[in-house]
Structure 1
Amino acid sequence: MTTTAQHRPTSALLITDVRLRDGSQVDVSIADGRIAAIGAGLPREPGVTLEDGAGALLLPGFVEGHTHLDKTNWGMRWYRNEVGPKLTDRIENERRWRAGSGHDAGAQSLALARAFLQAGTTRLRTHVDIDTDAGLRHLEGVLATRDTLRDVLDMQIVAFPQSGLLGRAGTDALLDCALSAGADVLGALDPALIDGDPVASLDVTFGLAERHHKPIDIHLHEPGEIGAFTLGLLLDRVAALGMQGQVVVSHAFCLGALPERERDALLERLADLRVALLTTAPSSTLVPPLKTCLEKGVTLFGGNDGIRDTWTPYGSPDMLERAMLIAMRYGLRRDDDLALAFDCVSSTAARACGFTDYGLHAGARADLVLVDADTLAHALVARPPRKLVVANGQTVARHGAAPESLN
């Protein structure tokens, strides 16, 4: 599935003298929000705006595969984090703080989404809390942000029960309303450890998804054997309902802790059912093995998770930074291995989320990033300012700053 930005008519653009990842020098022709051609020495047509790339490295627009725009404190005063160590501590603390402070999901999601654009992200999947206290208020704010930026940012919204599905009566009805109101994907959270009944939890989740014909993206923090049990139940339902290619398992920490034989059996099922994995590559938690996933044919992509919220002071809307952190977490040092980390926030993430018309080829949506870097590996490590960001054929950032029209 995909959400597609509305195509506002744009003037034709020719970007000259840029380098592809293989080092070849090319020009890029853009018309009506699409890449018309990529090649050396493209003709300079009358009336076409010229942009001198000056030898910069050309990259596709980045893809954020997992964030929480509605929660962020981006641009606000520093939040003093004194939350307890348990997942439930963070959930309850966040609910209290958002209710008491009047946190505005609309204004905050817009601020962070614009920061993502300026840093080169043109496709984004965000989870949004659906809560029996807040109702659909957070969703309404993020829907407004999506509408404001619809011409340049392709955004998918996940209706996410941050407190679980079964513990607070009425959550399933709110999720039902959220999917009808414009959410693209159904979220879920730890069916065993949060909901306490993985069978019932997954039954409700898959029932809602089937009713609305929506894909699923489930947070699975559950460790070891508990997580493996839940993952097995989930895969059974994917097979039974024919939902191959429509489910993402975010985090999947259990796959980093299981014995190799049990882990590999699950990876083979994931590959066979085309269930993708999302990792934020946390430094202190076991994660699914990147290269083993690739060898088994499992799609593994990347995202930030929360950014500057009550859960964490960390995170950044710069997906080159996230790619570098993924590379560091997996011990990637060779230039070709660093390219795997970049794929996690570009082509692989686009495929996993269902963002169509992605990439650097004729006919793709014109989402481009120019950086002054020798190679892709250099760009990940140095993370230079974005020289130019084009989204849906429109210039949305130059030298790290947005034009007045986006402010």
Structure 2
Amino acid sequence: MQNPEEIIQKISDYNCCVVVPTYNNDTTLERVIQGVLRYTKNIIVINDGSIDNTKNILLKYPEITQINLKNNVGKGNALRLGLKRAEELNFEYAISIDSDGQHYPDDIPLFIKEFDTSLNKKILFIGARNLNAKGMPRKNSFANKFSNFWYWAETGFTLQDTQSGFRMYPVKEINKIKFLSTKFEFEVEVIVKASWNGIEVRNIPIRVLYDSDERVSHYRPFMDFIRISAMNTWLFTVAIIYIKPRDFYRRFKQKGFKKFFYEDLIGSRDSNLKKALSIALGTFIGISPFWGFHSILAIMLAAIFKLNKVISFVFSNVSFPIFIPFIIYGSLKMGGSILGRTSLELNQIDENFKIGVYLVQYVVGSFVLAFLTAILFGTIGYITLHLFSSKNSK
């Protein structure tokens, strides 16, 4: 699809517009608009309270949709307004492009071509920049790797570039989602929440131009990094506490126990040893004294040690409420035996039991019990998995 006329027709067929948020980029804005006009007149420019020559430049283009804000609020707010206006104008998709000149409007066909060949139309494309390109600031490479890691931790998916502003959004699907941010951190929030809501997020390679003499960036290294870090902290917390358990429950409910057990636990491509180690890790965490953090730790450690996160999460729930008194009792008995302290009876573990008095004994016993139980469960798991594998191979 190299013919410009074909690209123009496809943009019209897919009911796509281009959203351009801008703030004090009068040296590059006109060039960006002119470049976009080669492919479509359906442009929405959000002037985010610019105090330079932006308004006069926009007067030259009465044919394009313009949103002029009195005060500067932030890029996230500008994008959100642009996407809402796109839906009001009945556009199905919107390509966002920065106005600082770093993106090439001639790369718009890359998005259309990729979208045209994609079977899934519920998709969000992010232009992946060459972070080793000439003139690319080193801090950008570090910030992008940092952001890529958090995106993976929050969604389980990997991307090459999570920070590029050159994107293609499914307008109606995105506008259904509630967002908190109004500044640069929106571009992190939107792709994470899109992924949570079943929207595929995919990279496509694009070019990038960094001209220090011409480009004006409004990214504040310290404050915006803090805001993005705070957003990632919040998103990660929500992912661990709600999203991952929700997805696990949905898979379990959809498949039923037997099918889930065979497909997600037994039928995964992980080796039997890896599955057994995942069982052991989850069991260890579930019995350890980290109450309230079992699920988080199980998933995080499984990711760090490259084990099966689903299996680890499942077995970290070994500490069901009905089993808690027995786990505490077993930990205290184990700790008492190791430290040479007086044994307790099970009936003493009631609502009046003061764990603080036996804290050291409990913690020591808890870790030992967790270790031994993890070995036991892991061994049983390995033998069981091996038997199932042998049976299915016949």
Fold similarity call, TM over 0.5: no
Higher relative contact order (CA 8 A, sep 6+): 1
TM-score by length of 2: 0.21
* Higher strand fraction (1 or 2): 1
